[in-house]
Structure 1
């Protein structure tokens, strides 16, 4: 990433009942400019006993999925990407 560049990511959680979080690609209201020290966008999903939960955010570590898996271990999926608004798709 060029110096001074800040990645844009979608940030939302389906726990906030934002239906747009399940497919945020057309919802620019959920887009933020990340901190320059956050080089990736992340999407994490898991199922509880009631529904699928989706969280999208900026991440400071490229290996954030490994960290989440080691810490929580119950994710259904975790993906990272490093281009503007790349984490908006299911």
Structure 2
């Protein structure tokens, strides 16, 4: 899935009217998108913003570090059970 997301990001960023902000479903996908952004010669956050989900440890080692949202899955699961 990561190579496909990377290729799709490259296609999207090749357009003259590329989006100025992206919210992606996972940090793993964001790392591929980040590579496509750099290959296009764009800068974060000057040219485009990128936010992802999961807060994996690797996110701190990308350049620039990913802006990522931590999902507390145990708490979400507990709340889901309570709603049942």
Q: Same fold (TM over 0.5)?
A: no
Shorter-chain TM-score range: under 0.3
Which structure has the larger Rg?
2
TM-score by length of 1: 0.27
Which has the bigger relative contact order, CA under 8 A and spacing at least 6?
A: 1
Which of the pair is proportionally richer in strand? 1
Which of the pair is proportionally richer in helix? 2
